[in-house]
Amino acid sequence: MSAPVTALFRPRTLNDALKMRAEQPGATVMAGGTDVMVYIESGTLKPTAILDLWGCSGLRWQQSITGGQFHGAGLTCTDVLRSGQSHPLLEAAAATVGAVQIQNRATLGGNICNASPAGDTLPVWLALKAEFEVASVRGRRRIPAASFWQGYKKIDLRPDELFLGILIPPLFGHTHFRKVGTRLAQSISKVVFAGRYNPGVDACLAFGAVGPTPMRCLKAETALVAGAAVDDVVQLVREEIAPIDDIRSTAVYRRQVAGNIVRRWLTSL
Amino acid sequence: MNVRFRCNGRAVEVDVPPMSRLLDVLREELRLTGSKEGCGEGECGACTVRIDGEAVMSCLVPVCQVDGASIVTIEGLGASVVHPVQTAMLQHGGAQCGICTPGLCMSAAALLERNPHPSREEARVALAGNLCRCTGYQKVVDAVCASLAPEGS
């Protein structure tokens, strides 16, 4: 049953973790294990070396810092829900990740770096214009969420880098989160949406599970801010997304539902 | 790898590959077969145990991550005194074939400790990760809502 793992690294500090990452760029990085263990069990991942960040201090904290609210990569969904300090959009997304047993282990950094197009928190980072902080022994850098997911399961993280956390800037406007799955809990999204709309200023309409990466509908956002009719915004959303038929849903259904979500939200404001 | 942890109040040590699933270590090494394997991918909740108080899917936890932790399985839940949720499951007919029952009891016990008087909706949310194909959940929710968490459980 066990994977033939020949090397296991369990750093206790961030500095140790970065050193180990520099020496082991091929190791599989794991935190709560809720994705990695499934991949190992199904045989889609056969790691020989593992870098386990679950017990690494310095990744599981949340604080207001200059420029916004910082969330460490090692925070679990349960941490987010219990803190009461997170943005309502993030709380809503965290509450829909798996069920309680998954939320107790699944981390924000894991959800972001696993980069499933259907990852529940991913549209939230787009809607909140988050920046991701990554680091290596060479130094740190920040990446806008909008440019982090470069293609299907492809992220802007170099082999010697680790994902440290997320910075959410202060933003204004209405917000809305909606996940559509087979059932309320424990299902993977057919469509997931996070929106933010500050009338006359800016808007963000972000979706997951409707393309190879989480994505924004830039034309629809521009139209919305310019005062376009809801019907026209909905039409643009349906044109901009790029859903496919897969085991969870069909492209036709996803287009219909994505538009419905935006229509219902905008007409409720 | 030698892994040391507390299991149902007892100090244990196992020598197993570090990425072994906690579920397998509990069942095969420690012979605690109350935790079941349903799906093996974190969907069904039959393998639910508590690690440092939190309900988790033991099929998704590599044993290296419980070194130094305190684990409670269904065998430890009612070891000294039958846990109120177990009593309530009996009284309300919350179990049929029984495969999901240990996991349901573990999730319910974790809920009741944080929220001794859950609403039906809160109980349903807390148990959403535990699939049951027999009961239709009504009697399970009846049982959980009728349970009173023991002090200090």
ipTM of the complex: 0.95
Distance to chain A for B125, nearest Cα, Å:
8
**Considering only CB atoms, which chain A residues are within 8 Å of B24?**
1-2
User: Is B153 inside any structural domain?
Assistant: no
Dist. CA B40–CA B37, nearest whole Å? 6
| pLDDT at residue number A56 | 95
Token look-up 């204004």 returns A172
Q: Do B60 and A30 touch (CB under 8 A)?
A: no
Q: What are phi and psi of A42, to 5 degrees?
A: -85, -10
Do residues B46 and B103 both lie within one domain? no
Q: What is the pLDDT of residues A76-111, one digit of tens each?
A: 999 999 999 999 999 999 999 999 999 999 999 999
In a domain, B107, yes or no: yes
Does residue B36 sit within a domain? yes
Cα separation, A208 vs A115, in Å, equals: 10
The CA distance from B67 to A149, in Å, is 34
Q: List the CATH number of the domain containing B59.
A: 3.10.20.30
Contacts of A100 in chain B (CB under 8 A): 55, 107, 110-111, 125-126, 128-129
A186-268 has the same fold as A7-52: no
| Backbone CA torsion sign across A149, A153, A158, A163 | positive
Please indicate if any CB of chain B lies within 8 Å of the CB of A251. no
Q: How many domains does chain B have?
A: 2
- Structural domain spans, chain A: 7-52, 62-168, 186-268
Q: For position B138, which CATH number holds? A: 1.10.150.120
Angle, alpha carbons B100-B102-B104 (nearest 5°): 65
Q: Quick one: pLDDT at residue B153?
A: 44
User: Distance (Å, rounded) from C-alpha A64 to C-alpha A86?
Assistant: 10
Mutate to test the interface with A, among B25, B64, B131 (most CBs of A within 10 A): B64
Residues of chain B found within 8 Å of residue A186, distances taken between Cβ atoms: 43, 128-129
Q: Two tokens at A227?
A: 């005062």
DSSP secondary structure code for residue B28 in this structure: I
The answer to whether A217 and A207 are in contact (CB under 8 A) is yes
3-state helix, strand, coil in chain A (%, to 5): 35, 25, 40
Do B13 and B53 sit in the same domain of this protein? yes
Same domain (yes/no): B73, B88: no
Sheet holding A7-9, edge to edge: A7-9, A49-52, A28-30
Does any domain span residue B152? no
Q: Which domain range does residue B130 map to?
A: 84-146
Q: Looking at B77, B99, B125, which one is the last position of a domain?
A: B77
Alpha-helical (H) ranges within chain B are 22-24, 74-77, 84-92, 101-114, 120-126, 138-146
B72 and B93 part of one domain:
no
Give the span between the Cα atoms of B122 and B116, in whole angstroms.
Answer: 11
Q: What is the DSSP letter of A107?
A: B
How many CB atoms lie under 10 A from the CB of residue A154?
A: 12
Shared domain for B100 and B138, answered yes or no, is yes
Interatomic CA distance for residues A71 and A68, integer angstroms:
10
Are residues B24 and B60 both part of a single domain?
yes
- Pair (B63, B88) in one structural domain: no
**One domain, residues B51 and B94:** no
Buried b (16+ CB within 10 A) or exposed e, B62-89: bbbbbeebbbbbbbbbeeeeebbbbbbb
Tell me which of B77, B94, B125 is where a domain ends. Answer: B77
Q: Does A49 touch chain B (CB under 8 A)?
A: no
CATH number for the domain formed by residue range(s) A62-168: 3.30.465.10
Contact across the interface for B21 and A37, Cβ inside 8 Å: yes
Please tell me the distance in Å from A126's CA to the nearest CA on chain B: 27
Tokens 């801010």 — which residue?
A225
Regions of chain A with pLDDT less than 70:
1-3, 185
Please give the pLDDT value at position A67: 87
> Is B26 in the same domain as B49?
yes
Q: What is the pTM of this model?
A: 0.95
Tokens 């993977």 sit on residue? A188
| Mean pLDDT per 10-residue section of chain B, whose length is 153 residues | 97 97 98 97 96 98 98 94 94 94 97 94 96 94 85 48
In this complex, do B19 and A2 lie within 8 Å of one another by their Cβ atoms?
yes
Asked whether residue B59 is domain-assigned, the answer is yes
Q: Could you say which of 1.20.58, 3.40.50, 3.30.70, 3.30.43 is the CATH number of the domain covering A7-52?
A: 3.30.43
For the beta carbon of residue A28, count every other beta carbon within 10 angstroms: 18
Domain final residue, candidates B61, B77, B93:
B77
- Residue whose entry in the numeric block shows the structure tokens 């049953």: A1
CA distances from B30 to A34, A98, B13, B14, B24 (A): 23, 28, 10, 8, 9
User: For residue B42, which residues of chain A lie inside 8 Å, CB to CB?
Assistant: 34, 37-38, 98, 101-102
Pick the CATH number of A186-268 from 3.90.1150.10, 1.20.1370.20, 3.30.390.50, 3.30.200.20: 3.30.390.50
pLDDT, tens digit (0-9, with 9 covering 90-100), for A6-37: 899 999 999 999 999 999 999 999 999 999 99
Cβ-based contacts of B65 with chain A (< 8 Å): 33, 52, 54-55
